[in-house]
Amino acid sequence: MPYTTDEVIEGVYTEVYYDNIENYSLFYNVGSNICKEQKASASYIRSIAGIGYSKAMKLIKEFQKNNVIGNYIEKIKSYEVLISLNEFKNKFKGDLYGL
């Protein structure tokens, strides 16, 4: 079962998932309309996350297989965006419980 934790950092609700592929991946609520009119596709996730198409598809399959996210399309529609752990650390300078 992937590692999961919930945290509120600088007013941003954050869920951290271990993706069992390369590293930690993060979904966080950006509190804007960035995803409102976008389709939840691997190419869209790739463009947001700055990761390759192949890894985006692997992440989606892994999340679905483990029921970590449930319906990732609904997550994307509710303004949750995939970013890298380093990007998250750079943005929030948080502890992430030692991760």
- Answer with the residue of higher pLDDT: 77 or 1: 77
pLDDT digits (tens, 9 = 90+) for 28-72: 333 333 333 333 444 455 555 555 556 656 665 665 565 444 444
| 8 Å CB contact between 55 and 13 | no
- Answer with the residue of higher pLDDT: 74 or 8: 74
Count Cβ neighbours within 10 Å for each residue of 29-39 and write b for 16 or more, e otherwise: eeeeeebeeee
CA distance linking residue 50 with residue 92, whole number of Å: 18
